Amino acid sequence: MRLIIAFIICMIVNVISVEIPPADYFDEDIENESCPEVERAEDEEDLVLIDGDILVTKEQAAIYYESGWDGLVNSQNWMKLNSLNEWSKTIPHEIDQQFVSATGGDDKSIKSNIFLSLKALQDKTCLKFPQKRCSDPYYLSFVKGDSCSTYLGKPFAGARVINLKANCAAGTDRKMTPAHEVMHALGRAHEHQRADRNRYVTIAYWNTCNSQMTIKEGFRTFNQPYDYYSIMHYSPKQCQYYSYTSLAYQDSMTFTSQLKGSSSDVGQRGSLSPGDIQHIKRVYCPSVY
């Protein structure tokens, strides 16, 4: 009986903890502040999706498809519209009312995952994510979208919109999907696309999203070791191919002997990895690295 009671108490505590927002999210003065309608940053108009969840302008997409990632990040077009790594340590945010007011279903789950993601980033790094004030010139804005995606880097002004959808951001196994998109907004690319990835991962030629698997020569690793368990790494279940010969799905990637842990945890979105935390610290918190 004592074991049953202890289990029930544990479950109640876990449920309650999911609903705890980041520190100062429900600051009374901010909550009652009436702001003008959200405006997207100028560089977010008429965007094209590349690499699965990264948004770029049409001009940048043309450069990307002609010259690849390296050509894009070194182009004048990129330099003009982006100022990567120029976020301050305090990054205001807001959450769409559709999520905030949700009392059940996928929207409530996504709301909880936004809270958990921001809390994890805030607790484990020097970054802070207060609720947005009207006077904030740029900020993160979590909205309901047709996919999970965002633009890479900080805007000059306005909202850096983070789109979230139930099939990629709801559920307890997707707690860190919002954090994945936030890290894109912070300037981070996908882990499995770094230049040295072939030492660690073999991409199957039959994968169904080859553009999301290509190596990005401009990827900045900051001398961090390859991180199989980063929330920025794809799972081998993503971009699978259905084989009508074997009547089964074929994984999009396999792993070299460098992988020492479980392959089933590659591509996880349950928690920040130590590598995720160290990458943020190298960029934004060098004094505490």
Per-residue pLDDT of 201-225, as tens digits, reads 999 988 888 888 988 877 778 889 9
Q: Distance between CA 212 and CA 201 in Å, rounded?
A: 14
Q: What is the pLDDT of residues 132-169, one digit of tens each?
A: 999 998 899 999 999 999 987 787 778 989 999 999 99
Could you tell me which residues are annotated as the binding site for Zn(2+)? Answer: 180, 184, 190
- Which residues does the annotation mark as catalytic? 181
Element (H, E) at 159: strand 158-164
- pTM (two decimals): 0.80
Compute the radius of gyration of the chain from its Cα atoms.
Answer: 20
Segment 89-118 mean pLDDT: 95
- Diameter of the chain by CA atoms? 68
Res 26: pLDDT = 41
Phi, psi of 270 (to 5 degrees): -90, -30
Domains and CATH numbers, the chain: 191-288 (3.40.390.10)
Of 183, 239, 190, give the one whose Cα is nearest residue 216: 190
Tokens (6 digits) for 76: 């004048």
Model confidence band, residue 243 (pLDDT cutoffs 50, 70, 90): confident
Looking at residue 14, what is its pLDDT?
45
Mean predicted confidence (pLDDT) in 18-31: 48
- How high is the pLDDT of residue 287? 73
Residues annotated within the binding site are 180, 184, 190
Two tokens at 232?
């920025």
More confident residue, 24 or 45: 45
CA dist 60 and 275 (Å) reads 29
What pLDDT, on a 0 to 100 scale, did the predictor assign at position 87?
A: 86
Q: How confident is the model at residue 7 (pLDDT cuts 50, 70, 90)?
A: very low
- 99 contacts: CB under 8 Å, gap ≥ 6: 107, 108, 110, 111, 114, 142, 144, 164
The alpha carbon of 24 is separated from its chain's Cα centroid by a whole number of angstroms, namely 22
Q: What percent of the chain has pLDDT over 90?
A: 49
Dihedral pair phi/psi, residue 256, rounded to 5°: -80, 180
